Each structure stands twice: as structure tokens, then as C-alpha cells.
Structure 1
Amino acid sequence: MTSAPPVPSHSPTRPPAPRPSPGAGRRPGPRRIGAGDRLFLAMIVGIPTIALLVFVWLPALASIGLSFTSWDGIALSDIRWTGLDNYREIFGNYPPFWPAVQHNVIWLLFSVLLPTPFGIFLAYQLDRQLRFTRIYQTAIFLPMVLAPAVVGLIWEIIYNPDNGLLNGIIGMAAPGHHIDWLGDPDLNLWAVLVASGWRHTGYIMILYLAGLKSFDPALKEAAALDGAGERQTFLRVVFPALRPVNVIIVVVTAMESLRAFDVVYILGGGVGSKPGMELLSLLITDNIVGESSHIGYGSALAVVLLAVSLAAIGTFLVQNFRKEDR
């Protein structure tokens, strides 16, 4: 008998396994930073840091040191150590100080109660994609683009007692009746507040409008399905969700109110605070660059303003962060 021929195997032949490359399996290491990269990093970090130290921290530390001295600002050899005398004089016998503090508080309350809510209201309305919304945004934000000195000059023309726009309108209703808006101590602060609020409103509008652009519209739709009106939707959904923007607005408003200077300086006629327009920033300028320089007084006032600003803003931020942690 002949044996049966072997059955051929139909299993496919396997290709030979590829040989691993010499560098296979190794993780790429971190790219080495070259000399050019180090120079670039040093420039973008070092230059702002040096500018911050030279133009912010060194003058602040110098003001703190000079606040304990008496100096006319001419010769360094005339600097005389006086201790706490400047602070005693400010809180005790310096007449314009407390009116200036009162006016800064009025400025803060005015900014919080009128321009800031009005800017938020305008942002919420413009976010609804109205017709010509770009034109409205540009017109409202234009005062913020202008320099504060230009804003002051514009409102100086409006408030001019002889041929100003405001008195011209009043003269049409009551001929011969003119109001000295900037010369009357009972009116000049409120006139300046209106000019500052005109500029501040556009700034708040842009800040809040940027926050609304990042807001999820699905939350509004969900609130509408639950039967909430526009007012309830804004107060209970939109406003709490934009808490980071609200924090920025509060801090910006407080800083603008405490360091208010440019518009008041222009409308007040330069150095020398008019009665009714005393502010801490103007008192600092009067004592440092006025006719009779009192660098010690001015530095002490600057330290007081710095302390008040840090205390107010720091307290608000700490409380806000604690609420977020809870």
C-alpha cells in the first residue's frame, strides 16, 4: 500500500517581526533651553519686574520713609526726622483732611449706586443683539477711550458759566439765569461726579458685556422654561454666575473712587483744591508740587490713602474668597 500524500498546510505565513530601532521605547526627554530662550525669558520677566520695582515699589517705600520726615524737596541734606508729627497734624489739626475723606466716601457711594448699575444695565440690554448695537457700544465706551484730561476739558465747556451748553439750555427756559457749576461749593463736587460717572459707565459696560459674552445661554433658556421673567433670570441666574466679573467691577470701582484725580484736577483749575472739591489725591498733589512744598505732609497723606485702599479692597477680596471656599 502506498501512503497518502501529506495534506498541505493552509495556515498563512507570518511576516518576520520588525527589529526595534535603537531609540524605541525611550521617552523623549525635556527639550533643553538654549541661550536665546533664556535671554527671551529674562527679558519678558525681568523688564516688567524691574519697571514695577523702580516706578511702583521704590516710590511707595520712599513715601513711607519720607512721611516721618520734614522736607521741602530741594536738598537731601534738609531732610529732618520728625517721627509721627505729620500723622498727628493730619488727623488732628489739618483742616482739609476730613472733608477730603468725606468727599472720597461720597465719590465711592455715587459710583456704586449710579454709574456702576447703569453700566451693568446697558451691558445687559446690548447683549440682546439689538440693531446698531456696535454703534451704541462705541458711543458709550468713547469717553473711556478719551484721556481723562480731555474728558475734563469737555465738561469744562459744558459747565462754563457764561456760554456753556448747560447754562445755555437753562437760559432758554429761564432767561438771564446762570449757575456757576464749578464755583459753587455746594454744586461743584456733584458736577465733577457727573463728569466722572459719564466716563465710568462705559468702562463698567464693557467689562460686564465681556462677561455676558461668555455666559451659557442654555441657563437663560432653562430659567425661561421654569417661568422666570427677565428680571428674575438676571438676578437669580445671570448675576450670581458672573461672580468673578462682579468682583472685578467692585475692585475697579473702589480704586477709581479712591484715586480720583484727573477730572477733578482739570475742572478744579489745577493745583489748589477749591472749597467743596477736596479729595485725598488733590491734597497729596497740593503738598508735594504746590507753591509751598511739604513733602512730609504729602507723603503721609499718600500713606494714609494707600492704607485705606488696601484695607477696603483687601477686606472685600478676603470675604469673597472665603465665601467661594465654603
Structure 2
Amino acid sequence: MERWLPHLVLWPPLLISVLHVITFTTYTTWISFTPSTLIPEHDWIGLQNYWSVLNSRNWKIAYSNLVIYGACFVTLTTAMGLLLAILIDQRIRAENLFRAIFLYPMAVSFVVTGTVWAWLLNPGIGIQSLVRGMGFASFRFDWLVDQSMAIYTVVIAGAWQASGFAMALFLAGIRSVDADLYKAAQIDGAGAWRIYRRVVLPCIGPIFIAVLVILLQFTIKTFDLVRALTGGGPGIATQLPTLVVYDLMFQRGLLGRGAAAAVLLLLSLLLVLIPYFAYACWRKRREARHG
């Protein structure tokens, strides 16, 4: 009985979760090929919903925003996470305290993060108002209401929340590097910057890939942060594909078209996950061949 207990604990919930995902993904895909509105229908209309979504102005703007947000968010979060990890790796005092502080934002929901940053970036009550109250009357920081800059407020809020998570992964990778490599580099006269650049960073290449994949997943699935921070505005300047799915399904009642948008979003996610899993399998086979 003791031998089978772990399997009985792990496998039933896992199989139920997999079945749940497969069932509803299949049903959503089927609905995307039907003219369903408020009530599901079962007439086949082919790719009509997909063409409607792809040709809509909202979807084009949302996907453009996704590219901008993804590139900036992943770059900024990775850079901040790596910098924090390197600084903490210097064996500073109160290391555990700083790690907890930097990781804390990840424990906060995206709704709370969006709400707080909406207050901070609001020109009337936030940073702009505070600085102007200190006597700098010409100071301006109204990105939240600027259509060309609003998407970057989402980047700032997202990076603030996720950089601690990236830091934790990078720090774990840095601490796993063989100490003999550090000693050999120090004997050769390499400074701290050169050791990190030539020794540490190449050794944690897989960590970089894992961080990038996870952050890209965060990017594609971002909904509540934008909903709480900007609501997709001003106008549709910060609209993302997830908000388009929500708008089609729950606000306009276009179930079939919303399902098509959801499937397109799933395909975007698979474009990130499939290459990662292929790389992981290739790396495992390579390590097995080289012993």
C-alpha cells in the first residue's frame, strides 16, 4: 500500500486536470467553427470567425500591443531580475530580507498591482501631482492618459511584479555554478565583472531560456493587470488579445468569434511552449549521449 500511495495521491488529480483542459479546449475549438452567439449553436461555418477576428481593427491593435508589451516586459524584467540576482549574490547583509522584499510583489495579485499602479500613475493624484506639489510645476508624467505611452505603464507595472521571480531563478542558477570555476577565474586574475560575463552567465544559459519562456507565457496571458490598470484604454491603446476575447464573449455576446480569438491566443502560447519543450528534449538526449 505504501508503494502505491504516492501514485494514488498524484495521478488522479493530474489526470482530472489534463482531462479538464483537453475537454474544454476541444469544445472551445469546436465552438469557434460555429455561428454561436449568446447560445452555443452547432452549424458549421468553417473559418469565418477566424477571418473576422484577424481582420478586425481591435485584434490588429491588440496583437501589435502584445508585441510591444512582450518585448519591453521580457527585456526589462530579465534585466532587472539578473541585476538583482547579481547584487544579492555578493553575500550582502540581510540577504534573506532583501530576497523577501523583492519577491513580495509576486505574492500580490495582478488586480492589486494594477489598481495600485493606476493610483501612482494617475496625473491628478499620483507621481505627477506629488512632484508638482513639491514645487516642480512643469513636471509631467501622464503616460496613463497618453495613447502613445499608455502601453508602457503596463510594462512598468508588470516588470515591478515579475522581476523578483526572475531574480529568484537567476540567483538559484548563479549559486549552482561550480565553485572551482570561480577559483580558477580568480587565479587567472579575472575581476568580478569578467567572471560573471565569461564564466557565470554562460553556465546559466538554461536558466535564461526558462525565464524567457515563463515571462512570455505571462505576457500572452496578461489580462487582469491591464483590466485593473488601464481597462484597455485610453480608447483601445492598451488593448491586448485577452481583452479582445473577454469583450467578444462576455460583453458583445459573440461566443463563436470569441472562441476563435481564444484559439488564436492558444496557438500563440503554443508557439512559445513547443520550441521550449523541443529544446528541453534535445538537451536531455545530448546530455545522455555525452554521459
Q: Which amino acid aligns with 1:280?
A: P
Partner of 2:114: 152
CA contact 1:63–1:299 (8 Å) conserved in 2: yes
| Partner residue of 2:205 out of 233, 238, 243 | 243
- In 1: Cα distance, 2:27 partner to 2:135 partner: 55
- In 2: Cα distance, 1:316 partner to 1:101 partner: 22
TM-score (norm 1): 0.80
1:3-18 equivalence runs, <5 A: none
Change in 2 beyond 3 A, CA 1:223/1:104: same
Match of 2:137, SS state, is coil
Change in 2 beyond 3 A, CA 1:39/1:317: closer
- Computing the radius of gyration from Cα coordinates, the structure with the larger value is 1
Q: Which amino acid aligns with 1:226?
A: D
**1:281 lines up with 2:242 in the alignment:** yes
CA contact 1:162–1:178 (8 Å) conserved in 2: no
CA contact 1:258–1:305 (8 Å) conserved in 2: yes
Q: Which has the higher contact order (CA 8 A, sep 6+)?
A: 2
Match of 1:60, SS state, is helix
- In 1: Cα distance, 2:90 partner to 2:19 partner: 44
Partner of 1:140: 102
Partner of 2:257: 297
Gaps of 5+ in 1: 1-33
Aligned residues: 286
Match of 1:82, SS state, is coil
More displaced, 205-214 or 140-149?
205-214
Partner of 1:83: 46
Partner of 1:254: 216
1:86-235 equivalence runs, <5 A: 86-92=49-55, 94-175=56-137, 180-235=142-197
TM-score (norm 2): 0.88
Partner of 1:52: 18
Partner of 1:70: 35
- In 1: Cα distance, 2:280 partner to 2:188 partner: 30
More displaced, 312-321 or 45-54?
312-321
1:180: how far off? 4.2
**1:41 lines up with 2:2 in the alignment:** no
Q: Which amino acid aligns with 2:226?
A: V
CA contact 2:223–2:243 (8 Å) conserved in 1: yes
- In 1: Cα distance, 2:27 partner to 2:188 partner: 59
| Identity across matched positions, percent | 28
1:162: how far off? 1.7
1:62: how far off? 1.3
1:197: how far off? 0.8
Change in 2 beyond 3 A, CA 1:57/1:42: same
Match of 2:114, SS state, is helix
More displaced, 64-73 or 306-315?
306-315
Q: Note the alpha carbon deviations across 1:79-98, whole angstroms, 9 max, x for none.
A: 43221101111223x11111
**1:309 lines up with 2:269 in the alignment:** yes
- In 2: Cα distance, 1:201 partner to 1:40 partner: 35
- In 1: Cα distance, 2:234 partner to 2:28 partner: 22
CA contact 2:65–2:238 (8 Å) conserved in 1: yes
1:194: how far off? 0.5
CA contact 2:246–2:258 (8 Å) conserved in 1: yes
CA contact 1:268–1:274 (8 Å) conserved in 2: no
Ranges of 4+ aligned residues in structure 1 off by more than 4 Å:
36-40, 176-180, 319-324
- In 1: Cα distance, 2:168 partner to 2:10 partner: 28
1:160: how far off? 2.2
1:165: how far off? 3.3
1:321: how far off? 5.3
Gaps of 5+ in 2: none
Name the structure with the higher helix share: 2
CA contact 1:70–1:296 (8 Å) conserved in 2: yes
Q: Which amino acid aligns with 1:120?
A: L
CA contact 1:120–1:208 (8 Å) conserved in 2: yes
Q: Which amino acid aligns with 1:305?
A: L
Change in 2 beyond 3 A, CA 1:322/1:160: same
Match of 1:70, SS state, is coil
1:254: how far off? 1.2
Root mean square deviation, CA, Å = 2.4
